[in-house]
């Protein structure tokens, strides 16, 4: 029995973007205000889960053809690479570097390698959450 | 419609680049000037002016807020009545709207105006099933509300 989910599907399409933008905002806000990679990753996966609820697994897999296991691997590599990079410069493991740069459009911005580590955390969280949910959802 | 918005932004940027003063106020002035030009030359466009459509959206919003307040007062009257003499009912409402967003918007408007809740959209998306809290003499008034909402939504979406 396939019901007509026109309201849910249309709303999910719109709300997905709002949730995703909020996730990116919370990811970048993590340095000075509450937020960061973990929360951002969870919010992002919740947006994808909303799509899965509104449509179905096959459709979402065709829309976002991402192998989430690779996403976990990339995230771990990024986190490890950020942490290990300082050893090649002669600093202890996990030393972070930051500086202020004058970017062409954004003006004076502080770039911090902790953001890269956070991106690794973000990717791992998204990958793990989506792997769990897809694996459970696939068991028909 | 989208072409007109693009043209308006193009004119705004043109105005900003003509004077080498790149600020937001300059852009807004250019946008308003472009709006004036587009309204003046509205005969050249095949579709409606997009300002018209923005106006229709504003009218729909005002209508919705008005209906929300009125309907909440109606429900308040129902709640504080000492006697429970209301008769809930379901009815089928055939809609002329076709687009996904139109049906979603209409359903949301009907649901957010208390006394009526959309419970189901039929499989061919041609009719809504609505639960009404008091069906005694309210069917005609509800239909009139629906026609006002539907007319307002059609006003927004017609090209």
**pTM higher than 0.85 for the full model?**
no
Give domain status of residue B51, yes or no: no
- Give CA angle at A57 (A56, A62), nearest 5°: 105
Same domain, B27 and B63: no
A52 burial via Cβ count (<10 Å: 0-12, 13-18, 19+) = buried
For B103, the closest chain A residue by CA position comes to: A7
Give domain status of residue B152, yes or no: yes
Shortest Cα distance, chain A CAs vs residue B121, angstroms: 6
Q: What is the 3-state secondary structure (H, E, C) of chain B?
A: CHHHHHHHHHHHHHHHHHCCCCCHHHHHHHHHHHHHHHHHCHHHCCCCCHHHHHHHHHHHHHHHHHHHHHHHHHHHHHHHCCCCCCCCEEEEEECCCCCHHHHHHHHHHHHHCCCEEEEEECCCCCEEEEEECCCCCCHHHHHHHHHHHHHHHHHHHCC
Same domain, B130 and B104: yes
Same domain, B113 and B149: yes
Give domain status of residue B78, yes or no: yes
Are A120 and A111 within 8 A, CB to CB?
no
Shortest Cα distance, chain B CAs vs residue A123, angstroms: 33
pLDDT band, residue A89 (cuts 50/70/90): confident
Question: Best residue in A1, A6, A54 to probe B by mutation, most B CBs within 10 Å?
Answer: A6
> Does residue B16 carry a pLDDT above 80?
yes
Same domain, B61 and B39: no
Same domain, B28 and B66: no
pLDDT band, residue B137 (cuts 50/70/90): low
Number of domains in chain B: 2
pLDDT band, residue A131 (cuts 50/70/90): very high
Same domain, B122 and B61: yes
How far is residue B121's CA from residue B127's CA, in Å, rounded to a whole number? 6
Same domain, B77 and B153: yes
For A13, the closest chain B residue by CA position comes to: B101
Nearest to A4 among B101, B108, B121 (CB): B121
Please write the tens of the pLDDT for every residue from B108-136.
Answer: 888 888 778 888 888 888 888 888 887 77
Tokens at residue A23, please? 């996730």
Identify which of B139, B105, B103 has the alpha carbon closest to the alpha carbon of residue B121: B103
Are A10 and B107 a contacting pair at CB < 8 A?
no
Stretch A124-130: mean pLDDT: 95
Identify which of A79, A75, A92, A85 has the alpha carbon closest to the alpha carbon of residue A41: A75
Q: What is the 3-state secondary structure (H, E, C) of A71-118?
A: HHHHHHHHHHHHHHHHHHHCCCCCCCCEEEEEECCCEEEEEEHHHHHH
Q: Encode burial over B11-25: b for 16+ CB neighbours within 10 A, e otherwise.
A: bbbebbeeeeeeeee
Give domain status of residue B50, yes or no: no
Same domain, B81 and B148: yes
Same domain, B87 and B132: yes
> Does residue B46 carry a pLDDT above 90?
no
> Does residue A24 carry a pLDDT above 90?
yes
Same domain, B89 and B141: yes
Which region among A21-25, B6-10, B29-33, B96-100 has the lowest average model confidence (pLDDT)? B96-100
Residue owning tokens 């993590």: A30
Same domain, B61 and B22: no
Same domain, B69 and B125: yes
Name the DSSP class of A5.
-
Give domain status of residue B93, yes or no: yes
How far is residue A135's CA from residue A31's CA, in Å, rounded to a whole number? 33
Domain range for residue B141?
A: 56-158
How far is residue B38's CA from residue B15's CA, in Å, rounded to a whole number? 14
Give domain status of residue B68, yes or no: yes
Give domain status of residue B31, yes or no: yes
Residues in chain A, how many?
A: 140
């Amino acid at each position: 029995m396939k019901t007509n989910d026109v309201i849910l599907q249309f709303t999910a399409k719109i709300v997905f973007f709002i949730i995703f933008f909020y996730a990116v905002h919370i990811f970048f806000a993590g340095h000075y205000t509450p937020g960061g990679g973990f929360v951002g990753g969870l919010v992002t996966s919740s947006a994808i889960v909303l799509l899965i609820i509104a449509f179905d697994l096959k459709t979402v897999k065709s829309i976002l053809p991402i192998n989430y296991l690779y996403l976990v691997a990339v995230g771990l590599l990024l986190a490890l690479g950020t942490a290990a990079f300082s050893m090649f410069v002669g600093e202890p493991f996990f030393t972070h570097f930051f500086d202020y740069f004058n970017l062409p459009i954004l003006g004076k911005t502080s770039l911090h390698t902790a953001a890269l580590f956070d991106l690794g955390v973000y990717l791992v969280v998204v990958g793990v959450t989506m792997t769990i949910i897809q694996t459970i959802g696939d068991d028909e | 419609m989208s072409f007109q918005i693009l043209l308006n932004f193009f004119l705004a940027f043109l105005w900003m680049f003509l004077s080498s003063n790149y600020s937001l106020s300059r852009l807004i002035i250019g946008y308003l000037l472009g709006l004036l030009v587009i309204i003046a030359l509205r005969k050249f466009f095949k579709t409606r002016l997009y300002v018209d459509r923005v106006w229709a959206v504003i009218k729909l919003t005002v209508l919705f807020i008005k209906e929300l307040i009125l309907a909440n007062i109606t429900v308040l009257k129902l709640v504080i009545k000492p006697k429970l003499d209301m008769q809930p009912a379901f009815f089928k409402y055939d809609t002329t709207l076709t687009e996904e967003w139109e049906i979603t918007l209409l359903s949301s408007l009907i649901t957010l105006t208390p006394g009526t809740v959309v419970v189901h959209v039929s499989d061919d998306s041609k009719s809504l099933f609505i639960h009404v809290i008091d069906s005694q003499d309210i069917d005609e008034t509800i239909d009139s509300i629906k026609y006002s909402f539907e007319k307002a939504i059609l006003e927004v979406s017609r090209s």
